[in-house]
Structure 1
Amino acid sequence: MSELAAALAGLEGFRLRPSEEQQRVYSAALLLPEGELGARRILWERGVPIAWREHVAALVRHHRLPFGALDRPDLDRVAFRVGLLARNDDLALLAEADAAAAGDEDLRAEVALFRQYTSEMGCLDKAREFASDHARFEYFRTPGRDPGYAAFDATTFTVTVMSGLPGAGKDHWIAANRPGVPVVSLDGLRAELKVRPTDDQGPVIAAAYARARELLRAGTAYVWNATNTTRALRSRSIGLAADYGARVEVVSVEAPPDVVHRRNRERARTVPPAVIDRMARRWEPPDPTEAHAVRWVSNA
């Protein structure tokens, strides 16, 4: 047992929590040395349910937030994100254990201020309420926006952005859930342009965005099908669709590691296993701050 985990177990606030909540916070304490990406990979490999895993990963990522929180200019934005993925009172509990392990009463006082502030902002033990999905989406993509602003929703069509490792089952999900909807597929364009995965991907990406713009100008719903395994990779296609007035939904499809590799071996165009492993090490599933709607799909 780590010093932090021992301190956590000694807190009255921890002992009073229901068993499942204790397990999540305790898991975060044990996984802190792994960092967010390492913690996520470990829990994914062990088959932990997606929401539970992302809750723990968010606690690991933001575990230092309560310390000096009121001095951070981005406090609201980060605390709202934590509330959408996990809970800020869990984060406070983890930070309180950290302060207790260090024997630092000043840090414990900072945690108390964090609890008070997030309670006043409506996101201590639940997600912050926004006027609508559109208001939430616009808040997180517009620096300085008032979280209480009820942004007018003029969207008239939906763009679906896929996310998932090769072999996770994205094509199967599209066929079953978006039949007849145009698909802008990077894999399809590679085959069409005769570009190998190891070649320069510039022509493929340029062709994909050209097709997407044609559909957006026509106000036509479509699916953007690519791995999109990091927030940075997703942001451009999401931003483009939003700039044209589309409602954006992100569908994250995932499967256990052995299933991903088996399906990859069965594909007509396989991806080198080392490439999949490298993508998995950097994997950032989408969260509710990125789009109007985010759906996590387990496709085992």
Structure 2
Amino acid sequence: MRLPYPCPPVPSDSLTIAWDTLGRGAFAPSIAEMAACPQDPEHHAEGDVWTHTRMVCEALVALPAWQALPADERELVFAACLLHDIAKPATTRIDDDGRIRQPGHSPRGALMVRELLWRMAVAPALREQIAALVRSHQVPFFLIEEADPRRRLARVSQTTRCDHLALVTRADALGRVCRDPQRLHDNIDLFLELCREHACLDRPFAFASDHSRFLYFRSDDRDPGYAAHDDTRCELVLMCGLPGAGKDHWIARNLDLPVVSLDALRAQHERSGTGDQGVVIQAAREQAREHLRRGQSFVWNATNLSREIRGRTIDLAAAYNARVRVVFIDTAYQRLLRQNRERQAAVPLAAIQRMARLWEPPDPCEAHRVDWVVQD
């Protein structure tokens, strides 16, 4: 599926037609907010966020490396440049000294982009590549200055094509007026060299096994080249997906395991899905411990939409030497709304919309295995 906005197939002196089309389309509200959003002149003397975004996209299409990409890759990199600062209006803060800051605009932007493209029925694989580029678009600027750049690179490469990321960041550097542009370009060059050194320029950083990768991202001092002994005893299957995505149906058709279901426990304890969940979570964790003590594989069935929430259950499983498999049910927007309406206990649309704004799909850094089940 192509993106519902234009991507210039060849470099041009002007992207006026593209901008005019965007202004009449679904992005018009975001464009207006970006055009009204100031930036700190030390880093963005060119002006507002939309002016910067236009300059970034125009710089991108002039890059020979972008022109040489296959058409579908040009499209996704262009989309990431177009959307990379979409969250700046929502995160702008002006300090007492007059400095303008937009803390956290990259991760916030990834959430906004994911929800927006999901509603627009953009194919999940394309949607997630764009969201990942938006989330990490600042990484090449500063990676080489981090205490452990290899660890950050290994994590980023699990979800992001680093060669595409370098293009987005290069265009971001070219599409601005700042105090020290050469430092930005030097750091991008060093980022590319580090990617080549670790063979993760166009593929994920490689580990000896899934278990080695799982343990590496759970420890601050583990060698990424170490082949860890797999002493796991059972498997946790952690379901993930918005209400109405079809998690129960998938479990019934694909697994024959005990299920710890938060919905079932809510019904048992006569609790709604919007009130205090303490009693429900406590009961679910005790059921999980019973399975883990016996070395019994089982399913944890809940929405589990954020890394933080998934992490609590994954930590519990890891403490009992269980393998972790996350199954993410990625259901198209219109289908999900229909399936939710057909449920015996439909979740209010407003609640689904709130959840979608915080939705972080799982990635290989979290688990031994991530299965992505797409339902159009």
TM bucket by the smaller chain? over 0.9
Distance in 2 (CA, whole Å) between partners of 1:22 and 1:32 is 15
Letter in 2 for 1:204: V
- Counterpart in the other structure of 2:13: none
Q: Where in structure 1 are there 5+ consecutive unaligned residues?
A: none
- Counterpart in the other structure of 1:223: 299
- 2:81 aligned with 1:29, yes or no? yes
Distance in 2 (CA, whole Å) between partners of 1:59 and 1:210 is 39
- 2:281 aligned with 1:205, yes or no? yes
Identity %: 48
**Aligned length in residues:** 299
Q: Where in structure 2 are there 5+ consecutive unaligned residues?
A: 1-18, 20-53, 87-108
- Counterpart in the other structure of 1:10: 62
Distance in 2 (CA, whole Å) between partners of 1:21 and 1:195 is 47
Aligned runs of 1:228-267 on 2, under 5 Å?
228-267=304-343
- 2:223 aligned with 1:149, yes or no? no
* Higher mean C-alpha deviation, range 141-150 or range 245-254: 141-150
Distance in 2 (CA, whole Å) between partners of 1:69 and 1:197 is 41
1:115 alignment partner, one of 181, 185, 192: 192
Distance in 1 (CA, whole Å) between partners of 2:281 and 2:142 is 42
Distance in 1 (CA, whole Å) between partners of 2:123 and 2:158 is 17
Per-residue deviation at 1:74? Answer: 4.4
Aligned runs of 1:30-69 on 2, under 5 Å?
30-34=82-86, 35-69=109-143
Letter in 2 for 1:116: E
Q: After superposition, what is the alpha-carbon deviation per residue over 1:215-274, rounded to whole angstroms, capped at 9, x for unaligned?
A: 000000100000000001100111111110111000000212222222112111221111
- Counterpart in the other structure of 2:201: 124
Per-residue deviation at 1:92? Answer: 0.8
SS at structure 2 position matched to 1:286: coil
> 8 Å contact 1:99–1:105 — kept in the other structure?
no
- Counterpart in the other structure of 2:265: 189
Distance in 1 (CA, whole Å) between partners of 2:142 and 2:116 is 30
Per-residue deviation at 1:123? Answer: 1.2
1:87 alignment partner, one of 147, 161, 179: 161
Letter in 1 for 2:354: R
Distance in 1 (CA, whole Å) between partners of 2:330 and 2:176 is 39
1:136 alignment partner, one of 213, 219, 225: 213
SS at structure 2 position matched to 1:249: strand
SS at structure 2 position matched to 1:33: coil
* Higher mean C-alpha deviation, range 170-179 or range 99-108: 99-108
Of structures 1 and 2, the larger Rg is shown by 2
Task: Give the alignment's TM-score, normalised by structure 1.
Answer: 0.96
- Counterpart in the other structure of 2:146: 72
Q: After superposition, what is the alpha-carbon deviation per residue over 1:128-164, rounded to whole angstroms, capped at 9, x for unaligned?
A: 1100000011111111211111111011321100000
> RCO higher in 1 or 2 (8 Å CA, sep ≥ 6)?
1
More helix by share: 1
- In angstroms, what is the RMSD of aligned CA positions? 1.3
Distance in 2 (CA, whole Å) between partners of 1:78 and 1:264 is 38
Letter in 2 for 1:232: E
- Counterpart in the other structure of 2:365: 289
* Higher mean C-alpha deviation, range 264-273 or range 287-296: 264-273
Q: After superposition, what is the alpha-carbon deviation per residue over 1:3-46, rounded to whole angstroms, capped at 9, x for unaligned?
A: 11110001111111111111111110011123101111122122
Q: After superposition, what is the alpha-carbon deviation per residue over 1:71-111, rounded to whole angstroms, capped at 9, x for unaligned?
A: 11242233222222121111111111112223623311211
SS at structure 2 position matched to 1:6: helix
Runs of 4+ in 1 over 4 A off after TM superposition: none
> 8 Å contact 1:139–1:145 — kept in the other structure?
yes
Q: After superposition, what is the alpha-carbon deviation per residue over 1:199-228, rounded to whole angstroms, capped at 9, x for unaligned?
A: 321110000000000000000010000000
Distance in 1 (CA, whole Å) between partners of 2:165 and 2:274 is 42
Distance in 2 (CA, whole Å) between partners of 1:175 and 1:127 is 33
Task: Give the alignment's TM-score, normalised by structure 2.
Answer: 0.77
> 8 Å contact 1:160–1:251 — kept in the other structure?
yes
> 8 Å contact 1:169–1:254 — kept in the other structure?
no
Q: After superposition, what is the alpha-carbon deviation per residue over 1:160-218, rounded to whole angstroms, capped at 9, x for unaligned?
A: 00000000000011001103x10000000011111122332111000000000000000
